[in-house]
A and B are shown apart, each in its own frame.
Chain A
Amino acid sequence: KNEVEQSPQNLTAQEGEFITINCSYSVGISALHWLQQHPGGGIVSLFMLSSGKKKHGRLIATINIQEKHSSLHITASHPRDSAVYICAGDSGGSNYKLTFGKGTLLTVNP
């Protein structure tokens, strides 16, 4: 059974801080998705990565396939970054099903 574990569950930061959210996954998962969910809002896909690193604005996602670990970094955090960040494992099968972590609630205070 595919499993995805996120840490921390909750994270509070001051505006401007560098933030890291971690995700570990089990054998059988070959790619990781990072998603963002604002309070009361929908879910938006941020990144999908199977190797290396991706960057979009202040967001950086990395994945280490050997260690089965991925991180999402936010540089120069801002209160508008406050959201739940979810990692999801992709086994790459023909039905494209994902295994979701429980999410990390990030609060960035001004």
Chain B
Amino acid sequence: NAGVTQTPKFRVLKTGQSMTLLCAQDMNHEYMYWYRQDPGMGLRLIHYSVGEGTTAKGEVPDGYNVSRLKKQNFLLGLESAAPSQTSVYFCASSYPLTGEWVTQYFGPGTRLLVL
């Protein structure tokens, strides 16, 4: 199993350009998450999904959109990139267990630089 994979690994954008980050998981997990990681700050949740066709806003959703058309894929879109979106983006997935806490499995990350 590949686990959680992210595409691309690194990207440079100019201000105003758009792009889509792809997250794929082969563990049949219901829940998927997009985080951003910035120096001096903890991981912050951008958007998450509790199942195919559903998405919800996290802590820092502005400037991002997401889609979960297939259970195994979770896409993060930047419609008009801004320098403030320069960050490392991590995708994660987990399988919900009623009444228990579960482990999140993380992808390798995507480094995005917006000039």
Q: A residues bordering B, Cβ < 8 Å?
A: 4, 30-31, 33, 35, 41-45, 48, 50, 86, 88, 90, 92, 94-103
Contact, CB under 8 Å: A95 / B48? yes
**Residues of chain B contacted by A102 (CB below 8 angstroms):** 40-42
Nearest residue, chain B, Cβ from A43: B106
Of all A-B residue pairs in the complex, the 10 with the closest CB atoms, nearest first, are A100-B42, A43-B106, A31-B101, A100-B43, A42-B108, A45-B103, A90-B101, A102-B42, A101-B42, A42-B106
In the assembled complex, the CB of A40 is this many whole angstroms from the nearest CB of chain B, namely: 9
Q: Is the CB of B108 within 8 A of A48?
A: no
Residue count of chain B within 8 Å CB distance of chain A: 25
Q: Which residues of A contact B48 (CB under 8 A)?
A: 95, 97
Instruction: Please indicate the chain B residues that have their CB under 8 angstroms from the CB of A101 in the complex.
Output: 42
* Residue pair B45, A48 in contact (C-beta under 8 Å): no
Return A10 CB to nearest CB of chain B, in Å: 12
What is the distance, in angstroms, from B92's C-beta to the closest C-beta of chain A? 8
Residues of B within 8 A of A44 (CB): 106
Contact with A along B87-113 (1 / 0, CB 8 A): 000101010100001111111110000
